[in-house]
Amino acid sequence: MRLLFVRHGDPDYEHDTLTEKGEREAELLADRLQSEKMDYFYLSPQGRAQKTGQAVMRRLGRTGETFDWLHEFTPSVTLPESGQPHIIWDFMPSFMQKYPQLYSPTEWLELPFIRESTVPQGYRAVCEGIDGLLARHGYVRKDNYYSVKKSNRDTLVFFCHFGATAVVLSHLFNQSPVALMQHFSAPTTSVTTVYTEEREEGIASFRCMTYGGVSHLYAAKEPVSFSGRFCETFDDPTERH
């Protein structure tokens, strides 16, 4: 089975839709995907993901199913030092250094400022959501792998968000979502491709083959968004700090 995780196009966050650039990106994405074999479509309920997905599905004459758990992952924590709310990615490196448990696939949830927040509940909802969907497609979670009930080569396409994708991938890969969010960045309309591997009979694991692919933008000479990145060097005031 193949999973394609598509981040929405360049966003107009205020109105939860796409900018003009985002609409161009979505059409270029549709150009790229219309020749792909795609069997099932799943969408976040948020407008920017819906519009991105519709650009592709309209081209194919297809429809998709919307799940609340594909909503952008926004539960926040209260930072111990400042008392300020903060989502669980884009921490400063010094903060990650102070709390190395954030890199652990299990210990990150036990940090007091995470345990006492709504993050564990939100994380559990996403994990249960993807596991329920994969079970529908023949792969049932068992400990750290999936039991194969119905092996297949279907392609599932998810139109969602950077944070939501990171949470799903962390569950599939048995890793901390904080580590993925902290060290990866997916441009708008990028495609992340994950395959099952059934190297042992009846057992499946997942492997990422490409992350954040934007070949459709490069081919059309559409600038790749800076969204999700921070300043490459500290002395550049024009880039996000």
- CB 40: neighbour CB atoms within 10 A? 15
Flag whether pLDDT at 50 surpasses 80: yes
pLDDT digit string, tens, across residues 59-110? 999 999 999 999 999 999 999 989 999 999 999 999 999 999 999 999 999 9
- CB 85: neighbour CB atoms within 10 A? 11
Q: For 120-145, what is the mean pLDDT?
A: 98
- For residue 107, the model assigns a pLDDT of 97
* Residue 230 confidence class, pLDDT cut points 50, 70, 90: confident
Q: For 174-187, what is the mean pLDDT?
A: 96
- For residue 108, the model assigns a pLDDT of 98
pLDDT digit string, tens, across residues 148-174? 999 999 999 999 999 999 999 999 999
Q: Distance between CA atoms of 185 and 238, rounded to whole angstroms? A: 19
- For residue 82, the model assigns a pLDDT of 93
pTM above 0.75, yes or no: yes
Q: Distance between CA atoms of 122 and 138, rounded to whole angstroms? A: 25
Flag whether pLDDT at 214 surpasses 90: yes
Radius of gyration, alpha carbons of the chain = 18
- For residue 141, the model assigns a pLDDT of 98
Q: For 182-203, what is the mean pLDDT?
A: 97
pLDDT digit string, tens, across residues 103-130? 999 999 999 999 999 999 999 999 999 9
- For residue 237, the model assigns a pLDDT of 85
Three-state secondary-structure class, residue 182: helix
- For residue 232, the model assigns a pLDDT of 87
Flag whether pLDDT at 228 surpasses 80: no
* Residue 231 confidence class, pLDDT cut points 50, 70, 90: confident
- For residue 193, the model assigns a pLDDT of 98
Of all residues in the chain, the percent with pLDDT exceeding 70 is: 100
- For residue 127, the model assigns a pLDDT of 98
